[in-house]
């Protein structure tokens, strides 16, 4: 038996430990948190959130050193796991937004949940899945990364076990997530069946040209895109989003609407740019329809919402449509511009949306309400909060000079560069929707600045320190990306993101 194994030519895979360091730090950190939680006294549980934050920052460190050392592509396991500039930028994004979510959660979990250790363990696991997703260049790795980031998220959405809305959120997210996984897996197996490889690059070579596309290949591509459309809550696969966002604890809502969605877009870009770049006759019309419908329906539904979390949920559905837009012209337009537009949009949207949710958390500590009407008089008793919320809302609406403006600019630029009738139509639809979206953001601003407080209670809001830190990080990022595009490191980041190593 042993002789047979020796005889078979097994080569030990080359492992580049420096390149894998972020994953290793996170993996060790997850185990450490589970053990640490066992030995901490109940009164010292707050340490868990601090340690979780430190683990995330510790994992950012190797990402930075890898970025500084060089721009050469580190490829492992036969090109199935690749560290290039694209993956480094997104790893940093996932880890830092994870850190902001930890900052947002710390006070909330201390006060309200007895299971802090498990909360942060699950959060870190989900982030680890996203970090993996950024490097995965193989259908198997993509799928494992997706399950890695989804399974803890199902549990986190159902975190408030006594709250029926949270139970509903967890259940809906789980059922629809599993359904989407099944559809996607079916598509992946079809793709593997017709191409004979799970590596994205091999699939890209096998799916060649428009005239050779086989029916099964088309189905595989469509099913895989549908699976990820669920993940990024593109209409008509968005139905889970508002209920889940409303039922989940607010920091988790922020996490799902930013990081989890970004991971879905990362996977979608990997597939579009690596696995089926030649099949643009299939994915472009499909993504075009998804983008147009997502932007429009998300906006129209957001207009009617009375609850701020639901409003932000539909607004994030609509923002997802803007990120789909460059992907819908990735084949006819310039692939580099499209990819860069997607990455830049993801970064800026992450900063802005996390910030908006941090303000929602701070305000609800006083008002204990999620109604938009409860934001009346915010400027009178909490001018700082009202100002940063205005910053985030203006950025989401795409008003210069805030970050969201630059993100939208990039998306429109990518679409217009395609120079086709369909692309121009999509740009017009998006432009009309940008104007419509301003309506509900401005409604909230008017509520904060003009209206009196609904119950006359004008005592100041006490914002916990960690939440202030989260607000400062996201606020500075939102402002800096808008005011100084192309300045200092930012130009380098967008430049990096364009280079897509294989």
State in angstroms the smallest separation of the CB of 108 from another protein: 8
Task: Please list, in sequence order, all residues whose beta carbon lies within 8 angstroms of the beta carbon of residue 9, skipping any fewer than 6 positions away.
Answer: none
* 166 lies in the binding site for another protein (CB under 8 A): yes
By CB under 8 A, the residues from 418 to 437 that bind another protein are: none
Tell me if 255 sits within 8 A of 209, measured CB to CB: no
- Select 73 or 422, whichever has its Cβ closest to another protein: 73
Q: Which of 49, 97, 108, 276 binds another protein (CB under 8 A)?
A: 108
* 39 lies in the binding site for another protein (CB under 8 A): no
Query: How many CB atoms are located within 10 Å of the residue 69 CB?
Result: 10
Q: Which stretch binds another protein (CB under 8 A): 57-65, 217-225, 280-288, 481-489?
A: 217-225
By CB under 8 A, the residues from 126 to 155 that bind another protein are: 128, 132, 138, 140-141, 144, 147-148, 151-152, 154-155
State in angstroms the smallest separation of the CB of 327 from another protein: 24
* 452 lies in the binding site for another protein (CB under 8 A): no
Task: Please list, in sequence order, all residues whose beta carbon lies within 8 angstroms of the beta carbon of residue 154, skipping any fewer than 6 positions away.
Answer: 170, 173, 174, 177
* 285 lies in the binding site for another protein (CB under 8 A): no
Q: Which of 32, 73, 185, 219 binds another protein (CB under 8 A)?
A: 219
Q: What letter would DSSP give residue 483?
A: H
Q: Which of 16, 40, 113, 286 binds another protein (CB under 8 A)?
A: 113
- Select 304 or 419, whichever has its Cβ closest to another protein: 304
* 465 lies in the binding site for another protein (CB under 8 A): no
HSE, side-chain direction, 13 A CA sphere, residue 306: 4
CA distances from 476 to 155, 309, 360, 493 (A): 32, 23, 18, 16
Helix segments in 197-238, DSSP class H: 200-206, 215-231
* 75 lies in the binding site for another protein (CB under 8 A): no
How many helices (H) and strands (E) would you count in the chain?
Answer: 21, 2
By CB under 8 A, the residues from 292 to 311 that bind another protein are: 307-309
Question: Can you name the residues that pair with 371 across neighbouring β-strands?
Answer: 307
* 182 lies in the binding site for another protein (CB under 8 A): no
Determine which helix (DSSP H) or strand (DSSP E) holds 502, and give its type and residue range: none
State in angstroms the smallest separation of the CB of 254 from another protein: 11
- Select 115 or 381, whichever has its Cβ closest to another protein: 115
Give the whole-angstrom CA distance, residue 469 versus residue 464. Answer: 9
Give the whole-angstrom CA distance, residue 55 versus residue 127. Answer: 11
Whether the bond between 236 and the residue before it is cis, its omega within 30 degrees of 0, is: yes
Number of residues that bind another protein (CB under 8 A): 74
- To which residue do tokens 């192309």 refer? 486
Q: Which stretch binds another protein (CB under 8 A): 74-82, 384-392, 406-414, 465-473?
A: 74-82
State in angstroms the smallest separation of the CB of 214 from another protein: 4
């Amino acid at each position: 038996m042993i002789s047979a194994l020796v005889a078979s030519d097994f080569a030990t895979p080359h492992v580049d430990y420096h390149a894998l360091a972020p994953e290793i730090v996170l993996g060790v950190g997850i185990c450490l948190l589970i053990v640490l939680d066992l030995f901490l006294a109940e009164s010292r549980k707050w340490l868990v959130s601090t340690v979780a934050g430190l683990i995330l920052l510790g994992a950012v460190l190797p990402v930075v050193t890898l970025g500084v050392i060089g721009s050469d592509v580190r490829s492992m396991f036969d090109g199935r796991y690749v560290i290039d500039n694209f993956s480094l930028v997104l790893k940093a994004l996932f880890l830092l937004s994870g850190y902001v979510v930890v900052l947002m959660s710390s006070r909330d979990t201390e006060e309200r949940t007895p299971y802090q250790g498990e909360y942060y363990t699950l959060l870190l696991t989900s982030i680890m899945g996203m970090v993996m997703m950024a490097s995965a260049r193989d259908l198997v790795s993509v799928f494992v990364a997706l399950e890695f980031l989804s399974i803890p998220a199902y549990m986190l959405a159902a975190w408030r076990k006594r709250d029926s809305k949270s139970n509903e959120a967890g259940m809906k997210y789980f059922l629809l997530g599993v359904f989407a996984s099944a559809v996607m897996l079916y598509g992946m197996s079809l793709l593997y069946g017709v191409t004979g490889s799970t590596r994205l690059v091999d699939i890209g070579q096998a799916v060649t040209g428009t005239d050779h596309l086989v029916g099964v290949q088309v189905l595989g591509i469509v099913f895989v895109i549908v699976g990820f459309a669920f993940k990024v809550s593109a209409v008509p696969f968005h139905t889970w989003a508002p209920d889940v966002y409303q039922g989940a604890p607010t920091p988790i809502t922020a996490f799902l609407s930013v990081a989890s969605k970004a991971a879905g877009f990362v996977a979608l870009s990997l597939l579009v740019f690596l696995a089926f770049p030649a099949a643009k006759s299939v994915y472009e019309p499909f993504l075009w329809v998804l983008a147009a419908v997502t932007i429009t329906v998300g906006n129209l539904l957001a207009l009617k919402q009375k609850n701020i979390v639901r409003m932000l949920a539909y607004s994030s559905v609509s923002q997802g449509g803007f990120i789909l837009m460059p992907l819908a012209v990735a084949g006819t337009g310039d692939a580099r511009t499209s990819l860069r537009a997607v990455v830049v949009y993801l970064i800026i949207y992450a900063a802005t949306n996390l910030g908006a949710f941090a303000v929602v958390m701070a305000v609800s500590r006083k008002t204990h309400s999620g109604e938009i009407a409860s934001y009346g008089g915010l400027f009178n008793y909490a001018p700082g909060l009202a100002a940063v919320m205005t910053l985030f809302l203006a950025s989401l609406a795409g008003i210069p000079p805030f970050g969201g403006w630059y993100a939208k600019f990039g998306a429109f630029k990518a679409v217009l560069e395609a120079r086709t009738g369909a692309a121009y139509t999509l740009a017009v639809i998006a432009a009309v929707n940008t104007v419509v979206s301003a309506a509900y953001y401005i409604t909230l601003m008017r509520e904060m600045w003009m209206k009196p407080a609904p119950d006359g209670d004008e005592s100041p809001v006490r914002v916990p320190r960690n939440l202030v830190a989260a607000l400062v990080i996201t606020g500075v990022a939102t402002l800096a990306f808008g005011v100084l595009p192309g300045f200092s490191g930012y130009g380098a980041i967008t430049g990096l993101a364009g280079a897509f190593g294989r």
